[in-house]
Amino acid sequence: MTKNFRENRYLNESGSKTGNWYLNRFEYFQFHEYPKYKKHKIIALLFGLFLFYLSIKVLSVSFVGALPVFYLCYINLLTFNLLRTKICRYKGYFLYPSKFVNFFRSIAVEVDLNDFDSVATVSKK
């Protein structure tokens, strides 16, 4: 996902190759930064990289022992990516804690669903 999510130049396009309405407003939402945003982003990246390194070391000893470490690494790196892009799915992600998605939803950017693009996207389905 690129940084040009919902840019003004794509407002009149719905489903084209240049407009990114396959990431439409009914599946994804943007959220605002919050006071500890930068701190959480850095912690998620560093802890995710550390857990990835640790999981490689544990994997050489035991595959079953490495699974929980891989899961924690997945959560941290996905959280970093969500905080970097500030775009999240309404339905959440595979094995991702719903509390995190609910927190992001609580600080979501308000969007008018009755504008031209949303109506055009709904009418194509």
**What is the pLDDT averaged over residues 9-30?**
58
Output the pLDDT for position 22. 44
CB 116 within 8 Å of CB 19: no
pLDDT tens by residue, 61-108:
999 999 999 999 999 999 999 999 998 988 889 999 999 999 999 999
Query: What residues does each domain of the chain span?
Result: 1-32+86-117, 36-85
The pTM assigned to this predicted structure is 0.74
Q: What does the DSSP assignment read for 21-79?
A: TTS-TTTEEEB---TTHHHHHHHHHHHHHHHHHHHHHHHTT-HHHHHHHHHHHHHHHHH
